[in-house]
Structure 1
Amino acid sequence: MSNPHTSSSGESHGSVSSYIIGFVLAVVLTVLSFGVVMTHSLSPAGTLAAISALALVQVLVHLHYFLHMGGSSEQRWNNMCFVFTVAFVAILIVGTVFIMNNTAMHMMSR
């Protein structure tokens, strides 16, 4: 009899408790972000830094608890695909911003 939390290829799909932990962490991080903005307890730069840090932690929670991406050897292929995708999107965004900025600077000089 096979484990009910694995697929036919042996990949783990997590347990109910894992999903609940991920959900609770995601809700807590969302409430913290909302609280930072609504209380105006930090300076604008501090608020931006806090929101950015909480967003990064939120992404990591989603990757670990919902997408089941971890450091195990079984996840190596998924991790490589994810890193490639992030690098590709970063190059695309940075390149687009560079081209738009460069074009705007050249258009203004005439």
Structure 2
Amino acid sequence: MYKQSSIHSSAGTSHGSSRSYLVGFMLSVLLTLIPFALVMFPSLPRTITAWLVVALGVIQIVVHLKFFLHLDTAEEQRWNLIALIFSAVIILLLVGLSLWIMDSIHNNMLAH
């Protein structure tokens, strides 16, 4: 019948099967269509819709990391996962602190 095989690189890491890619693709399409429908046909309050879109976006990032980039807690992926987490922390710090600085400048400009 249908033989599932994983393709391995020269480093021995798995690149997933066709079924894995298909599941990832279907989840990605679903996680794209739901926020699109929520925005195009508004039935919820705007704040709830915005938070749902953000939450589904975060879930989609996890789906992409798992099914397409094959990042998991396996031993051979440990350094890639650490690099990803480090990069995410740096980006969050840069964006968060920039927003904090801009808000502080905005509030100081209104006070004078």
TM-score by length of 1: 0.88
Higher relative contact order structure (alpha carbons within 8 Å, sequence separation ≥ 6): 1
1:35-93 Cα shifts (integer Å, max 9, x gaps) = 11122121111111211121111111001001101122221111100100000001111
Amino acid at match of 2:92: A
* 2:6 and 2:16 in contact (8 A); partners too: no
Identity of matched residues, %? 37
2:97 aligns to what? 95
The reply on whether 1:49 has 2:56 as its aligned counterpart is no
SS in 2 for 1:71: coil
1:83 aligns to what? 85
TM-score by length of 2: 0.86
Gaps of 5+ in 1: none
1:28 aligns to what? 30
When residues 4 and 71 of structure 1 are mapped into structure 2, their CA distance, relative to the original with a 3 A threshold, is closer
Amino acid at match of 2:23: I
1:70 aligns to what? 72
- Aligned residue pairs total 108
Which sits farther off after the overlay, 21-30 or 4-13? 4-13
> Cα RMSD between the aligned structures?
1.6
Q: CA deviation at 1:108?
A: 3.4
